[in-house]
Amino acid sequence: MPTRSRLRKPPPAGYLWSSGAADYLGVHVVTLYHWRRDEIGPRSSVVGRRRWAYKIADLDAYLAGRHSASLDTRGAG
């Protein structure tokens, strides 16, 4: 009998599921849920009925944008 982990499909190529995206960004998966609800944070796509996928390039762009924004605010003073 297949185990539960064997039933899970991998995300599409170049994407991460919500849990992987949360790890990649260093936030909790619930934070991603709140960001989706509030329409902030990195772009996401729904796959199937309830699976959310995040394009790795979009996660990198989001991190780069946050990093540059934090550098801009440090220089103000």
Q: What is the pLDDT of residues 39-71, one digit of tens each?
A: 999 999 999 888 999 999 999 999 998 876 666
Helix (H, G, I), strand (E, B) or coil at 62: helix
DSSP-derived secondary structure for 10-52:
PPPTTEEEHHHHHHHHTS-HHHHHHHHHHT-SS--EEETTTEE
* Amino acid letter for position 5: S
pLDDT for 3 equals: 56
pLDDT for 50 equals: 86
Rounded to two decimals, what is the model's pTM?
Answer: 0.77
CB–CB of 44/53 below 8 Å?
yes
